[in-house]
Amino acid sequence: MAYKLTSQGVKRLADGTFITANNGTSEWYEYQAWLALGNTPEPEYTPEEQAVKDAADAEAAAQATLSAAAKADALFNTLKGATDAQINTYVNNQFPAFSAQQRATIKLLLMVAALTLRKGVV
């Protein structure tokens, strides 16, 4: 019998059964006995699979960074031309569960940011 590590436990390769430590089943005890005999499960990823996963994770992180930068750029452009009334409406609509004091703080910060952007300081 052979096993492969997973993020949630192990997978028995003979039949594809996933076994977790907290399920307390006979499969878990069989796995523990198998380990006690000196056996070692296969890693979750082979070196090749890990390289592919790492590359995909790096690409996803890069895309997330680009997406965040694009959102920030769009927000800056919108904020630069927003009136105080538009900022008030935006904050009231986006943060209805916040207290009036919290919304007032957000409004003030956005108004300062808008003024800074209009003056070209950033």
Domains of the chain, residue spans: 3-36, 47-118
Give the whole-number percent of the chain exceeding pLDDT 90. Answer: 73
pLDDT tens for 91-107 read 999 999 999 999 999 99
Helices (H) and strands (E) in the chain, counts: 4, 3
Check pLDDT > 80 for residue 109: yes
pLDDT band (50, 70, 90) for residue 122: low
pLDDT tens for 26-37 read 999 999 999 999
- Read off the tokens for 10: 């192990």
Check pLDDT > 80 for residue 22: no
Of 94, 97, 117, 119, the C-alpha closest to 107 is: 94
